[in-house]
Structure formats: structure tokens, C-alpha cells
């Protein structure tokens, strides 16, 4: 049986990947040591998802290994060898706010950990396809220099600009901008994956995501914008909006749609490929627009406060141009848009509330 190794297997994209590739007939070897609980607190732990996957998926095993631990990672890869046909690397320190607290932790997880996995793949299963979940933060704050126009509920790019119709493509420079330390560490991992593809002729794909979301997201204030927003709306908690009047725009891609893109890449992989991937014009919203939608779904006023201080390096407007990926893989398409994403998340969040005793 072909093996898929998935790092961050209990996180949003990792667990979606575990389900998806298990259903495709893979034996799934998960790597997840629940660092998310260290980053964002016990309420953001993914241990519950590890247990759920272990019970639900027959051909799934979970390994609590730190991806920076070269000895343990190499031992695992050596054990399975060329049976490994796919490596999906989703493990990361994902918050640009948190990165400034512990720069060494952030960099070693995002950069050194990626290097360890790439080298393990090269040594023990060089024919495997290596997929890396990168981020639009590799572009730093360059998107904030675009000609933006303020409207009632969102910032929008000038309609005459080339990016207006489809969004930001991969030609945007990653230089001469403020990335945040998180963005810098992800740039390092991003470039490493490209270089292992080109230099060693390995099958590698870099997916620079916008906002990745879905019902399995353990959202926290510092990461998981839409999931945490839904959590606050359903539980009637106040939400802090950091800067830009709440009109900052994000494109949102459902975890299923992203992992389905991984599947298409795996079936016909390329060398050192780079793709912007997100909700594009198909699925996007501002914070205020998302709040308005959540209020309608919950039939409850949403409590929030606007703070003047924006997060350092944060984007005012981001919409991904996904046409490069669509050109290479024309059979891939979206299943979800922003409305169906929120409907699913709100429904599941309400269902998970404690039941009142009569």
C-alpha cells in the first residue's frame, strides 16, 4: 500500500489531507506533536483531532514527533522508504504575531523543520511528491502598496488595476517589504522546497495560501481568522478587530478545496512549482462582511470592538489569482464559497454547544 506522510496531521489542512488521501487508498502516517497548544493555549489543542482520526481511519497512525528532530524524522522515513509516495507538509508556527515572541522557535519550526523533511524525502523516498503549504505572507506587506479604495464595508482595489479582475498572481515581488518574522521563516521554507525541486529534480509543489479555513480549524485570536470569528459569534464573545476599520479583505478557501488541489498536483506533479491558492474572487470577504453574514446565520448581534493598531505586516487586501494552478490543472474546481463555508462552520459550531438540561 502506498504511504502518504502528513505533517501537522491533526491541524486543519493536515486532518483534511489525512481523510482525503486515506479515502484514496493510502496508508496515512501522521506527524503531529500538538505544538499548536503551546503556541495558542490549551483551548487550541489539536489532541482531540488526533484521537478522532485514530478512531475513524483504519489505515492511519499518529506519531508525536517534532519535525525539527532529525533523528526521529529520519528513522520514520527510513522505516517506510520508497513506499512513501507523497509527503504533505502542513506543520508550522502559523502566526506572525506569535513569531515575534519566540523568533528562534518560529524559524526553526518553519525553516529548519522543512529542511529536515526535504532531506529525509531526498534520502529515503526521492521519487515521492513533496507538497508544502506556504503562505501569502511571503509577499510581505507589498500588497498594501496597491491602489486601494475604501467602500462602506471593505477595502477594494482600483478597478483599473490589473489585479482587480482575478487578484494577485505569483509575479509579485517578495523583496523590499516588511514580512513579519513569521513571513521571513515561511519564505525560507518556501525557497527551500523550490530549490530541492530544481536542484535535486524532486517533485515539489509550493502552495501559497490565503486564508485557509474549515470546520476542523482550532481557531484562536492570533490565528484562524474565520474559525475564531464564528466561535465568537456563536458563543457571544467579543471579537477584537486590529486596524483598517475592519474593512481588510481576505479570500477564504475551504480545506477540502485546497487538499483537492494537492490531489490534482500529486497525479501530475511538477518540479519546483509555485502557486498562489485561495478563495480568489470566488470566495472572499472583509471582516465586517463576515460579521454581517454570521449575524444573519446566528440571528444574534455580533459583539466586537475596533482597535486602531493594525498587526505589523498585515495585509489590507488580499485576493489570490489562482489561474496558474487552474491552467496546469483544469479539472480542479471549487466546491465551497464564502457563504457555504460560513453556513457549515456556524452549523457545526452550534451543534457542538452544550445541550441545555430541561
Q: Which three cell numbers stand for residue 125?
A: 523516498
What is the residue whose three cell numbers read 483537492? Answer: 260
> Is residue 43 very low, low, confident or very high in pLDDT (cuts 50, 70, 90)?
confident
User: What's the rounded Cα separation, in Å, for the pair 146 and 114?
Assistant: 31
Place 220 in a pLDDT band, splitting at 50, 70 and 90: low
Q: Are 255 and 295 in contact (CB under 8 A)?
A: no
Q: What is the pLDDT of residues 306-343, one digit of tens each?
A: 998 888 778 999 999 999 999 999 999 999 999 999 99
Residue 277 clears pLDDT 50, i.e. is over it: yes
Q: What is the pLDDT of residue 61?
A: 98
Cell numbers that stand for 108 in this block: 526553526
pLDDT of residue 82: 98
**The model's pTM:** 0.95
Superfamily for domain range 3-351: NAD(P)-binding Rossmann-like Domain (3.40.50.720)
Domain ranges within the chain, ordered by starting residue: 3-351
* Contact criterion met (CB below 8 Å) for 91 and 7: yes
Radius of gyration of the chain (CA): 20
- Percent of the chain clearing pLDDT 90 (strictly above): 87
Beta strands 155-157; 148-150: pairing state: antiparallel
Amino acid at each position: 500500500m502506498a504511504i502518504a506522510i502528513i505533517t501537522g496531521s491533526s491541524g486543519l489542512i493536515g486532518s483534511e489531507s489525512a481523510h482525503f488521501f486515506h479515502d484514496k487508498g493510502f496508508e496515512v502516517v501522521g506527524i503531529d506533536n500538538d505544538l499548536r497548544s503551546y503556541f495558542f493555549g490549551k483551548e487550541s489543542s489539536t489532541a482531540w483531532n488526533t484521537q478522532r482520526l485514530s478512531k475513524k481511519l483504519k489505515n492511519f497512525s499518529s506519531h508525536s514527533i517534532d519535525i525539527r528532530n532529525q533523528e526521529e524524522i529520519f528513522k520514520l522515513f527510513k522505516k517506510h522508504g520508497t513506499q512513501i509516495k507523497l509527503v504533505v507538509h502542513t506543520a508550522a508556527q502559523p502566526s506572525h504575531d506569535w513569531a515575534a515572541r519566540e523568533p528562534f522557535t518560529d524559524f526553526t519550526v518553519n525553516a529548519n523543520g522543512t529542511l529536515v523533511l526535504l532531506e529525509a524525502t531526498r534520502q529515503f523516498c526521492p521519487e515521492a511528491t513533496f507538497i508544502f503549504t506556504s503562505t501569502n505572507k511571503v509577499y510581505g506587506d507589498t500588497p498594501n502598496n496597491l491602489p486601494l479604495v475604501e467602500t462602506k464595508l471593505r477595502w477594494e482595489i482600483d478597478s483599473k488595476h490589473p489585479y482587480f479582475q482575478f487578484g494577485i498572481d505569483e509575479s509579485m515581488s517578495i523583496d523590499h517589504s516588511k514580512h513579519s518574522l513569521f513571513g521571513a521563516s515561511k519564505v525560507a521554507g518556501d525557497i527551500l522546497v523550490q530549490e530541492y525541486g530544481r536542484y535535486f529534480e524532486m517533485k515539489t509543489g509550493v502552495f501559497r495560501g490565503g486564508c485557509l479555513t474549515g470546520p476542523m480549524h482550532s481557531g484562536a485570536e492570533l490565528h484562524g481568522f474565520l474559525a475564531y470569528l464564528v466561535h465568537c459569534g456563536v458563543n457571544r464573545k467579543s471579537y477584537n478587530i486590529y486596524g483598517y476599520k475592519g474593512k481588510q479583505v481576505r479570500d477564504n478557501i475551504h480545506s477540502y478545496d485546497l487538499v483537492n488541489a494537492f490531489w490534482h498536483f500529486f497525479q501530475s506533479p511538477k518540479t519546483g512549482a509555485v502557486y498562489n491558492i485561495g478563495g480568489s474572487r470566488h470566495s472572499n470577504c472583509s471582516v465586517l462582511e463576515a460579521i454581517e453574514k454570521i449575524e444573519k446565520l446566528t440571528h444574534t448581534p455580533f459583539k466586537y470592538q475596533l482597535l486602531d493598531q493594525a498587526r505589523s505586516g498585515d495585509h489590507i487586501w488580499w485576493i489570490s489569482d489562482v489561474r496558474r494552478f487552474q491552467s496546469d490543472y483544469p479539472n480542479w474546481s471549487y466546491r465551497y464559497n464564502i457563504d457555504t463555508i460560513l453556513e457549515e462552520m456556524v452549523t457545526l459550531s452550534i451543534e457542538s454547544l452544550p445541550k441545555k438540561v430541561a
